[in-house]
Amino acid sequence: MIYGERIRLRSVEREDIPFFVGWLNDPEVIENLMMRLPISTADEIRWFEKLADLAPEEKPLAIEIQSGDGWRLVGNSGFHNIQWANRSAGIGLFIGDKSIWNHGYGTEVVCLLLKHGFETLNLNRIYLHVYEPNKRAIRTYEKAGFVLEGRLRQGRYKNGQYQDEFIMSVLRSEWEARRGME
């Protein structure tokens, strides 16, 4: 487990599948994700079974928040496209439980992923892709130290319109400098 102040990241388990199916079929949840079509439980089971073939560092991490004396699943996150020679990786996350949106959990997840990526995985650059209309996520990433490094003009078509896709990243040196200021 990877612990933050109010969250923890853990391995995804088969029991999480019904939650993911529910969230990933919610139009509000997937508005800013790459997904376009509904998914079935069978689709998610196939996805889960393929996780065994991934490198440990690229397996998704369930996001849980403290709830009473226990923990409650609220989304997932993780690293992808790890390039060990370049010490670079992408991250992604979604919070499916809408009851906790706008409470700072996304920022905490991103900061915890950065800490894990730089301190445990020894990465030098962590990047992500975000769509221009997703202002809430962009603010979250900027708070965590990400900077805009590129724009894929009209790189996404969703809901009848083209949207720009931003590429943002943070370097280990930038992250360490920010931590030194805290």
For the chain, what is the domain count? 1
**Domain of 98, in residue numbers:** 2-181
Query: Which residues, 6+ apart, have CB-to-CB distance to 107 below 8 Å?
Result: 140, 143, 144
Token couple for 33: 């994700």
Q: What CATH number has the domain bearing residue 123?
A: 3.40.630.30
How far apart are the C-alpha atoms of 69 and 61, rounded to whole Å?
21
How far apart are the C-alpha atoms of 2 and 7, rounded to whole Å?
9
Phi and psi at residue 105, in whole multiples of 5°? Answer: -70, -40
CA distances from 136 to 113, 133, 169 (A): 18, 9, 17
pLDDT along the chain (182 residues), means of 10: 94 97 95 90 96 95 94 97 98 96 94 96 98 94 96 93 97 91 56
pLDDT computed for residue 9 by the predictor: 97
How far apart are the C-alpha atoms of 76 and 92, rounded to whole Å?
8
Using one digit for the tens of pLDDT, what is the confidence trace for 70-105? 999 999 999 999 999 999 999 999 999 999 999 999
